[in-house]
C-alpha cells in the first residue's frame, strides 16, 4: 500500500506530548462510567467533522481498536516511531477507556497535519480522501516485509490468481482486498489478466432518484467495453484493439468500505447526487462478484456509516456506528452522541458504508502497570498545555 503525500513531510520540531495511557487491567464496567465504552464524542476543531466521522467509524472496528489497546502496535514501531500512529493509539484509548463524554482529537490532527498541511487549514475536506490518508499512514508505520517462500515459483497468469503480499500490516489484514480484471481482445479473443489491490471501493450511482446498494455493485462489476480512445494494446495483434473488461473480487477483505460516488464533476459542472440508496444492515451478499475459486466468505453486516449533508462546496459529516459492547447503533455528530434504532440507520445521506464479514467482540487490552511507549517516541516532545 503506497503512502501518498500531498507535500514533503514538514520538520516536526517539537511534538505535542501524547498523554500517557492510564493503567487498565480490563475494560471498566459500563455502570461505573458516564457513558458506554467506545461511545465518546469528538470536539470539532474547525470544520473537522469529516475527521470526527471517520475516527468514529474506525473506533467502531473492534479488531483495529484491540490491536492498539493491546499495545501490539508498539512492537512494529520499535525501529521507526510514527507520531500519527502513536497519537491514533492514544486517541482510541481515550475513546474506549476514558471517563469523558467527549475528547479532543487535536493531538492526532496536529500529527497528521504535519504531513498533510491541508488538514490544518480549518476548511472542509472530503471524508473518503481523509480515510485513505489515515489508512496509508497507519500501514506505512506498521507494515512488515514478507519474503516469498523459497519453493514458490512464478507461474503464468491465470484467472483470479492472487498476488502474494510483500508488505502486511493490521490495515492490510483488515481492509485490503484485491480486484481481478479479465481483459479480452474483441478482435483475436486473447484474454489477459490484471490484479489491483484496494482498501475502498468507489461505486457509481446508476439512478438520480432511488436505487439499492446491489444496483451500485452490479453497475461497478458489469462487463465494460473499451473503445475509441480507451482501446488497449493487444500483445497478440500488436496494435490497439477494442476489448471487453470483466471485474471480479479475487480477495475479499474482512472489512469492506464502499464509497458512494455522490459528487459528480464533469468539466466545470459540479453536482451532488441525492439518490436514496437502500443498503442492508445485515446479510449483504457479495457472492455474485467474487471469483468462483474464492467464494468462501460469509455474508457482510453493516458496522458503520458516514453521512454527508449539504452540497459539494460545504456541508456537514456525521457517523452512525454499531457498538460492540451494547450491540446498539449510535449517532455521532461531533460532541453530540445519541442512541438510535436500527430503522434510523438507513438514510439518503449515506456516503461511506463499512461492512464486516465477522461479528465484532468487545476489545481487550494489555495488562501492564507502566507506560510501554518506546523511549525514542517520547524524545523531543513538549507537554500539552
Residues serving a catalytic function are 49, 316
Distance CA 285, CA 206 (A): 19
Distance CA 62, CA 325 (A): 10
Q: Map residue 339 onto helix, strand or coil.
A: strand
Angle 319-325-330 from CA coordinates, rounded to 5°: 25
Distance CA 153, CA 299 (A): 34
Q: What does the DSSP 8-state code read for residue 136?
A: H
- Provide Rg for the chain, Cα atoms: 22
Q: What are phi and psi of 7, to 5 degrees?
A: -145, 165
Q: What are phi and psi of 157, to 5 degrees?
A: -65, 140
Distance CA 264, CA 271 (A): 5
Decide the pairing of beta strands 15-16 and 381-382: parallel
Report the b/e string of 268-277 with b at 16+ CB within 10 A: eeeeeeebeb
Q: What is the dihedral of CA 3, 272, 125, 337, to 10 degrees?
A: -110
Nearest alpha-carbon partner for 163 in 179, 151, 150: 179
What is the full DSSP assignment across 262-299?
A: -EEEETTEEEE---EEE--SS-B--GGGB-GGG-----
Nearest alpha-carbon partner for 122 in 188, 206, 46: 46
Q: Strands (DSSP E) along 87-176, which ranges? A: 102-103, 144-145, 167-168
Amino acid at each position: 500500500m503506497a503512502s501518498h503525500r500531498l507535500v514533503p513531510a514538514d520538520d516536526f520540531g517539537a511534538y505535542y506530548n501524547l498523554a500517557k495511557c492510564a493503567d487498565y487491567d480490563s475494560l471498566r464496567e459500563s455502570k461505573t462510567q458516564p457513558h458506554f465504552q467506545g461511545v465518546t464524542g469528538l470536539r470539532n476543531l474547525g470544520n473537522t467533522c469529516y475527521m470526527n466521522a471517520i475516527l468514529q467509524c474506525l473506533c467502531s472496528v473492534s479488531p483495529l481498536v484491540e490491536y492498539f489497546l493491546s499495545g501490539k502496535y508498539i512492537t512494529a514501531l520499535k525501529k521507526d516511531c510514527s507520531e500519527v500512529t502513536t497519537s491514533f493509539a492514544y486517541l482510541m484509548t481515550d475513546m474506549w477507556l476514558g471517563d469523558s463524554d467527549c475528547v479532543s482529537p487535536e493531538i492526532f490532527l496536529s500529527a497528521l497535519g504535519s504531513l498533510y498541511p491541508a488538514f490544518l487549514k480549518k476548511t472542509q475536506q472530503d471524508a473518503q480522501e481523509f480515510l485513505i490518508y489515515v489508512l496509508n499512514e497507519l500501514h506505512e508505520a506498521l507494515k512488515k516485509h514478507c519474503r516469498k517462500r523459497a519453493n514458490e515459483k512464478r507461474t503464468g497468469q491465470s484467472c483470479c490468481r492472487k498476488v502474494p503480499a510483500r508488505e502486511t500490516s493490521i490495515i492490510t489484514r483488515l481492509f485490503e482486498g484485491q480486484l481481478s480484471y479479465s481483459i479480452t481482445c474483441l478482435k483475436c479473443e486473447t484474454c489477459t489478466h490484471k490484479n489491483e489491490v484496494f482498501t475502498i471501493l468507489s461505486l457509481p450511482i446508476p439512478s438520480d432518484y432511488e436505487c439499492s446498494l446491489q444496483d451500485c455493485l452490479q453497475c461497478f462489476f458489469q462487463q465494460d467495453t473499451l473503445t475509441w480512445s480507451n482501446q488497449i494494446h493487444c500483445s497478440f495483434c500488436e496494435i490497439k484493439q477494442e476489448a471487453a473488461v470483466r471485474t471480479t473480487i479475487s480477495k475479499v477483505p474482512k472489512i469492506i468500505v464502499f464509497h458512494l460516488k455522490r459528487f459528480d464533476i464533469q468539466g466545470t459542472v459540479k453536482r451532488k447526487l441525492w439518490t436514496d440508496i437502500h443498503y442492508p444492515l445485515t446479510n449483504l451478499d457479495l457472492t455474485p462478484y467474487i471469483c468462483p475459486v474464492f467464494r468462501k466468505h460469509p455474508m457482510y453486516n453493516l458496522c458503520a456509516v458516514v453521512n454527508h449533508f449539504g452540497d459539494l462546496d460545504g456541508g456537514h459529516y456525521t457517523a452512525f456506528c454499531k457498538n460492540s459492547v451494547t450491540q446498539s447503533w449510535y449517532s455521532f455528530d461531533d460532541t453530540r452522541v445519541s442512541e438510535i434504532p436500527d430503522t434510523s440507520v438507513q438514510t439518503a445521506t449515506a456516503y461511506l458504508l463499512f461492512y464486516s464479514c465477522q461479528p465484532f467482540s468487545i476489545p481487550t487490552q494489555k495488562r501492564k502497570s507502566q507506560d510501554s511507549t518506546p523511549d525514542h517516541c517520547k524524545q523531543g516532545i513538549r507537554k500539552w498545555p
